[in-house]
Amino acid sequence: MKPAASEEFTLAPGLIQLNHASYGLASRTVADAAMKHRRRIESDPTRHLGAELLEDLRARTALVCTAFGLTPEHTTLCSNATSGAAAIIASVPLTPADTVVVLDTEYSSINRAWQVASGRAGARYIEIAVPLPFQGTASLLSRLENEVPGPVSYLQTSLISSSAALRLPVAEIAEWTRGRGGHLILDAAHGPGHVRIAPDTWGVAAVFGTLHKWLPAERTVGFLWLTEQLVDRIRPAEVSLTWDSADLVERFSWPGTFDPVPRLCVGAAVAQWVGWEHKGLLTECEKLADHATSTLEALAARPTAGREYLPPRLRSFILDGVTVAEVKSALSKADIRAWVGPGPSGECLLRIATHIYNDRGDVAALAALLEEVLHP
């Protein structure tokens, strides 16, 4: 029998959802709150999408900051992680004298955005290979030291990488970057609601991410955190009516006509997430992820890193001897949802996420399927 908490979601009967990390999933509670916000907005759009909206969004920003330990004057909500990244990449000054370093485990569109920006400015773009399984902090820092000549302007890394699900050593990478005179830009798409966020402690220059992946929030809602030095510099990638605002929240509050409801619902999502945490449900998800890891390892699926670098509820595995297409097809036919795709070197990666609607039966079904695929 599925966990009682699974009733909070509208997943199709019989579907095994182990791909929570790709898109997240709004709960019934948050969906109900969203409906109320939409009805209120449609009752008087001129009022509710006008000046009143800014104060509503400012209140939600403050709530997110309180929940995750961020400074309100350095934080704003935005459309999603991609829009936050685009704002940073479009706003930081790049010249032919600059060097941008990006790890190849980053989300591909982020790498491409830095590559395009560097190309336009004539800046040097260096992509660092991170072999899987991840060999650890010392190996990564040695690779950076050996493959990056001279000063660095910006280094892009993730708190938790997307495809390979690596919990990267952010503080150590930031320290190395500062030692080369540069700034670390952090992708925290898989942070809020999953792992602790501490940009001040880590010494990073900017953080972008999402709130709809690990919170039961409506899609899409992102966030942006900036150091004091960047607060006045970073502007939305789209030039809208509030682009010139000196106020960070206002600057990102109106990217043209948009649906503000996902941002307005973050309070309901945070409250429900806090409730799950207090009940120990998220701890149970972590235990289930550990169980899944040991179960799949027994089938010769190789974790992408050692235990120290594994996120609590997101795990990725290297599957040898099979293709991405073969695994995708088998999962689809069995109504099991998990992310499958190529790793940085073309290896077949399988990524799973454990959430409060999952149980050991889901892991057993996945394991049985992989047994057929890996050992026909």
Helix, strand, coil fractions of the chain, as percent rounded to 5: 45, 15, 40
Tokens found for residue 145: 């030291």
Query: Would you say the C-alpha torsion 71, 72, 75, 78 has a positive or negative sign?
Result: positive
pLDDT of residue 5: 79
pLDDT of residue 1: 67
What domains can you pick out in the chain, each with its CATH number? 4-18+280-374 (3.90.1150.10), 33-270 (3.40.640.10)
Whether the pTM exceeds 0.85: the reply is yes
Closest Cα partner for 264 from 1, 23, 55? 55
The average pLDDT across 63-71 equals 96
In contact, 208 and 174? CB cutoff 8 Å: no
Nearest-angstrom CA–CA distance, 374 and 376 = 6
348: CB partners within 8 A, 6+ apart? 318, 319, 320, 322, 323, 324, 327, 340, 342
- The residue with greater pLDDT, 5 or 131, is 131
Residue range 97-156, pLDDT digits in tens: 999 999 999 999 999 999 999 999 999 999 999 999 999 999 999 999 999 999 999 999
pLDDT greater than 90 at residue 374: yes
Nearest-angstrom CA–CA distance, 77 and 64 = 9
Closest Cα partner for 314 from 272, 357, 264, 351? 351
288: CB partners within 8 A, 6+ apart? 354, 358, 359, 360, 363
Closest Cα partner for 187 from 155, 142, 230, 144? 155
Residue range 101-114, pLDDT digits in tens: 999 999 999 999 99
Mean pLDDT lowest among 47-51, 169-173, 296-300: 47-51
Nearest-angstrom CA–CA distance, 39 and 33 = 10
Q: Which residues pair with 160 in a beta bridge?
A: 167
Nearest-angstrom CA–CA distance, 312 and 66 = 22
Closest Cα partner for 310 from 168, 189, 214, 202? 168
The average pLDDT across 330-344 equals 97
Residue range 346-357, pLDDT digits in tens: 999 999 999 999
pLDDT of residue 225: 98
- Rounded to the nearest integer, the mean pLDDT of the chain is 97
In contact, 127 and 104? CB cutoff 8 Å: yes
Residue range 270-279, pLDDT digits in tens: 999 999 999 9
Prior bond of 220 cis (ω within 30°): yes
Tokens found for residue 55: 């104060």
Tokens found for residue 95: 């010249």
Furthest-apart CA pair in the chain: how many Å? 62
Nearest-angstrom CA–CA distance, 240 and 301 = 48
pLDDT greater than 90 at residue 28: yes
- In this structure, how many other beta carbons lie within 10 angstroms of the beta carbon of residue 120? 9
pLDDT of residue 376: 82
pLDDT greater than 70 at residue 207: yes
**H runs (alpha helix) in 324-374:** 324-333, 360-374
pLDDT greater than 90 at residue 208: yes
Relative to beta strand 348-353, strand 339-342 is: antiparallel
Give the DSSP per-residue string, 60-74.
HHHHHHHHHT--GGG
Q: Is residue 250 packed enough to be buried (19+ CB in 10 Å), middle (13-18) or exposed (0-12)?
A: middle
Report the percent of the chain where pLDDT is more than 90. 97
pLDDT greater than 70 at residue 300: yes
pLDDT greater than 80 at residue 167: yes
pLDDT greater than 80 at residue 370: yes
In contact, 110 and 228? CB cutoff 8 Å: no
In contact, 87 and 251? CB cutoff 8 Å: no
pLDDT confidence of 3, banded at 50, 70, 90?
Answer: confident
